């Protein structure tokens, strides 16, 4: 088991990590953390200029253009990584079709545009599958692993984001299928399911009252930050998690762990004891 300078198995020294959607939000936080723990990171993003800017701040990082709708672009990402670093140890599938405008269109099924549904699955599910398929032979060679970013919305029903949430549920099942199929070859596959996470994209997409409503159901005093999710990803990618595969690590501040209406109960009893 590889260990870091402090003798723990949480370090990522010598590992080469691809992070899709790595130029912003959770992806960027993960790139910074993994780089700090010794990994060589490949920041793959459709926003190439942002990826280049982040890579310039991280020792030995590589920025690569990625369009998850294009199979050739995904294959080129892996090929560029191998050409540059000679190996691949971790694939972090973090990119997804998500943003303020997309979120506004992604509501319930009755009002769903077929084009949005199809594009969501093309980017999130098909793109993730192709990335995994392309990376797997190289991860098998290195004894590497895959960490997929999913969502707590894949585990709970909601009145919004039917396309996004169901696509993430598909990735959860893909995670289990890959763990079952490839674990015997030394390749682990896990997923991290964030709750509402305070990224710039989320601030743009969700009005403050809705964010406050979710914060009221959180068991911590505040919503999670991108760095909180990065810690979960880095743990699953590290040798400290070598006996963990096929799992979904929910990182939502405890939102999914309690009965409905917790915030209302909290307010009621707070008033009673005031």
Kindly indicate the confidence band of residue 272, based on its pLDDT and cuts at 50, 70 and 90: low
The whole-number pLDDT of residue 260 equals 86
Kindly indicate the confidence band of residue 4, based on its pLDDT and cuts at 50, 70 and 90: low
Domain assignment present for 152: yes
The whole-number pLDDT of residue 201 equals 72
Query: Domain range for residue 219?
Result: 16-272
Is 164 assigned a catalytic role?
yes
Domain assignment present for 218: yes
Domain assignment present for 214: yes
- Which CATH number belongs to the domain containing residue 266 in this structure? 3.40.50.720
Lowest mean pLDDT among 59-73, 102-116, 132-146, 257-271: 257-271
Domain assignment present for 245: yes
Cα 179 from Cα 237, distance rounded (Å): 14
- Across the chain, mean pLDDT equals 93
Lowest mean pLDDT among 114-123, 173-182, 195-204, 216-225: 195-204
Domain assignment present for 2: no
Q: Which residue has the tokens 């989320």?
A: 202
**Can you tell me the mean pLDDT for 45-70?**
98
Domain assignment present for 118: yes
SS3 call for 45: strand
- The 10 Å Cβ neighbour count of residue 262 is 16
Q: How many domains does the chain have?
A: 1
Share of the chain above pLDDT 90, in %: 75
Cα 117 from Cα 163, distance rounded (Å): 6
**Catalytic option among 164, 191, 195, 218:** 164
Kindly indicate the confidence band of residue 70, based on its pLDDT and cuts at 50, 70 and 90: very high
Kindly indicate the confidence band of residue 47, based on its pLDDT and cuts at 50, 70 and 90: very high
Domain assignment present for 243: yes
Kindly indicate the confidence band of residue 269, based on its pLDDT and cuts at 50, 70 and 90: confident
**Can you tell me the mean pLDDT for 190-205?**
83
Rounded to 5 degrees, φ, ψ at 249 are -90, 110
Does the pLDDT value for residue 178 go beyond 90? yes
Domain assignment present for 9: no
Cα 62 from Cα 109, distance rounded (Å): 40
Does the pLDDT value for residue 90 go beyond 80? yes
């Amino acid at each position: 088991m590889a260990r870091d300078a402090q003798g723990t198995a949480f370090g990522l020294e010598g590992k080469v990590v691809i992070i899709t959607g790595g130029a912003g939000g959770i992806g960027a936080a993960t790139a910074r953390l993994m780089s700090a723990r010794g990994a060589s990171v490949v920041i793959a993003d459709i926003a190439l200029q942002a990826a280049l800017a982040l890579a310039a701040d991280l020792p030995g990082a590589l920025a690569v253009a990625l369009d998850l709708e294009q199979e050739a672009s995904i294959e080129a990402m892996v090929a560029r990584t191998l050409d540059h670093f000679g190996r691949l140890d971790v694939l972090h599938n973090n990119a997804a079709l998500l943003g303020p405008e997309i979120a506004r269109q992604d509501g319930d099924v009755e009002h769903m545009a077929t084009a949005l549904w199809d594009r969501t699955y093309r980017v999130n599910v098909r793109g993730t599958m192709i990335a995994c398929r392309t990376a797997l032979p190289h991860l098998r060679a290195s004894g590497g692993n895959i960490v997929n970013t999913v969502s707590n919305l894949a585990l709970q029903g909601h009145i919004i984001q039917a396309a996004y949430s169901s696509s993430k549920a598909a990735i959860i099942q893909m995670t289990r299928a890959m763990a079952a199929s490839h674990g015997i070859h030394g390749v682990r596959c896990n997923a991290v399911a964030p709750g509402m996470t305070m990224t710039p994209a989320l601030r743009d997409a969700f009005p403050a009252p809705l964010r406050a409503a979710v914060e009221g159901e959180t068991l911590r005093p505040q919503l999670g930050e991108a760095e909180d999710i990065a810690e979960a990803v880095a743990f699953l990618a590290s040798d400290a998690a070598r006996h963990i595969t096929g799992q979904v690590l929910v990182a939502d501040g405890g939102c999914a762990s309690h009965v409905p209406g917790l915030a209302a109960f909290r307010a009621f009893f707070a008033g009673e004891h005031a």
